[in-house]
Chain A
Amino acid sequence: MGIPITGQIINMCAALLLLIAFAMLSQRRILSLINLFSLQGLILAISTSVVAYSSQQQHLYYSAALTLLLKAIVLPMILHRLIRKLNIKWDVETMFNIPTIMLVGLALVVFAFNLAAPISQMAATITRSTLGIAMASVLLSFLMMITRSKAVPQVVGFLAMENGLFFAATSATYGMPMVVELGIALDVLVGMFILGIFFFQIRTAFDSLDLKHMEKLKEE
């Protein structure tokens, strides 16, 4: 096998990201979900800095630092504060059958791997083979948002999807321009604040964070 050691580390990080995506999909407790999200950010930062080291792209170091700061530390802290204030720390979510969701997730992974195969052949980066995993984690986060009924896990799913997109960008083209990345980071942060306010609004309006209640808001 001719993969250099940095490539192996990146592949390992990619595999761990996929593992975390599945762990999130099967997680019932909100607290563990946020911890997993924090871990995802950490691994993303590690893999980005390894990519930066191996490709000598200076701006990727800044992306890695930004990822570490924002996704592994700040956002989980905000989420922790939120669930403490909303008092839903031990909330156990009832979802439909987890094994079924996992099997759907498996089908999504196969689909994403197939989809990414021709694209990654055209890319020339060291990380091109991880594109399939990046797409898979985007799709899995999407699936998580679909299958959850509570507000907080949906937001975590949304943030995880952003992580997957970021990973896809680094693996296909060594990351987006710095301006775009900063913009996205700011967007995510602001979005998080707005969603936090929304949580309180939803709870005062419906007495619950279950988004099924919002289906009642139809125009007659």
Chain B
Amino acid sequence: MSASAIFLQLLQNVLVLLAAPLLLGWINQCRAWLQNRNGAGMLQPYRNLLKLFHKDAVLAHNASQLFRTTPYILFACMWLAAALVPVLATDLPLSPAVDVIALVGIFALARVFISLAAMDIGTAFGSLGARREMLVGFLAEPALLMVLFTASTISQSTSLITIVETLAHKQFVLYPSMTFAAVAFVMVLLAENARVPVDNPSTHLELTMIHEAMVLEYSARHLALVEWASALKLLAYMAIGIALFIPYGIAEAGNWNALPAAIALLTFKLLLAGAGLAFIETISAKMRIFRVPEFMGTAFLLAVLGLLTHFLLET
């Protein structure tokens, strides 16, 4: 392991940490534009975080240690996940340790902790949010795994590095199976990140909220960490999507000259993905909670179809 690889890994760690709120700000700004509003500016998430970090934390009397530590665990999980996905270069020192199944595992770990913390206080909203989160999570996870398995069967490996290298550096081939996987992945992304058709990130309406209901009891620095973790999760999901479906332009192993171009291209892709997400959120209405299983079932079905078409058309 060379020093440059370690530097690259550190660079990506810092970059994702700083870029996550910016991405969220960009999405909110796009939504505002699409809804004919001026918006709060792309830097608003940073201001929110700064404000929250300066406040004094309030904890419920019966909050246990679990409730206090969960924001840190959540933040660490999401930071790790976002830092692991190879989007800048393919030879990150940490990445070989993590394949796609472990990545899904990291998300699952975070989900378990946030749900437990939500139920820890014992308020009605917390438990309600936790239950809904688990419902969405257990439906979204198999679909996500199937999407990742489709990419794995193409590249014969579950390591994200190998997948990206296979898809980006080989001769360009149209993969019909990846079309299905891409549609399924977008649906999973919407559900997992509490975006509009499944959940609305900007509402506190009791009957509809999922993610917000769980973090209702958090304040100040805890809330800041939770929000930052959500932004990181969104970035991680978008990075996975970019790595799987549009990995072109990633820097080769040890190729430093390609790095600036890779960063510029990644920024462009993220901006495009963010605008696309804002567009989806603007044109679709939030669905009833009992329609969510149908939505996620469709995502799972599409992912399985992708796997099937791979065996039919591409072998």
Contacts and interface: CB of A to CB of B under 8 A. Distances in A.
Nearest to A1: B173
A80 B313 CA distance: 35
What is the interface of chain B mostly: helix, strand, loop, or mixed?
Answer: helix
Contacts of B309: 14-15, 18, 133
A106 B203 CA distance: 36
B314 interface: yes
Contacts of A5: 174
B297 interface: yes
A76 interface: no
A19 B301 CA distance: 10
Contacts of B276: none
Contact of B180 (A19, A106, A113, A130): A19
B136 to A, nearest CB: 15
Contacts of B302: 19, 22
A12 B305 contact: no
A88 B305 CA distance: 33
B294 interface: yes
A112 B311 CA distance: 13
A15 B298 contact: no
B173 A18 contact: no
A99 B311 CA distance: 24
B179 A12 contact: yes
B11 interface: no
B25 to A, nearest CB: 34
Contacts of B298: 22, 26, 99, 102
B312 interface: yes
A170 interface: no
Contacts of A15: 176-177, 179-180, 309, 313
A9 B174 contact: yes
A15 B183 CA distance: 12
B305 A106 contact: yes
Nearest to B179: A15
B311 to A, nearest CB: 8
Contacts of B58: none
Size bracket of the B interface: 20 to 34
Given A19-B183, A99-B293, A102-B298, A110 B308 contact: yes
A59 B149 CA distance: 41
Contacts of B297: 99, 102-103
A1 B174 CA distance: 11
Interface in B156-212: 173-174, 176-177, 179-180, 183
A11 interface: yes
Contact of B301 (A3, A16, A102): A102
- The listed residue with most A CB atoms (<10 A of its CB), out of B177, B180, B293, B301, is B301
Contacts of B140: none
A12 B176 contact: yes
Contacts of B293: 99
Interface in B283-315: 293-294, 297-298, 301-302, 304-305, 308-309, 311-314
Contacts of B177: 15
B305 A109 contact: yes
Contacts of A16: 176, 179
Interface in A47-79: none
A21 B173 CA distance: 24
Nearest to A26: B298
Interface string A97-139: 0110011011001100100000000000000011011000000
A8 interface: yes
Contacts of A106: 301, 304-305
Nearest 3 A-B pairs (CB), nearest first?
A15-B176, A8-B174, A99-B297
Given A1-B173, A5-B174, A14-B313, 10 more contacts: A1-B314, A8-B173, A11-B174, A12-B174, A16-B179, A19-B183, A102-B298, A109-B305, A110-B308, A133-B309
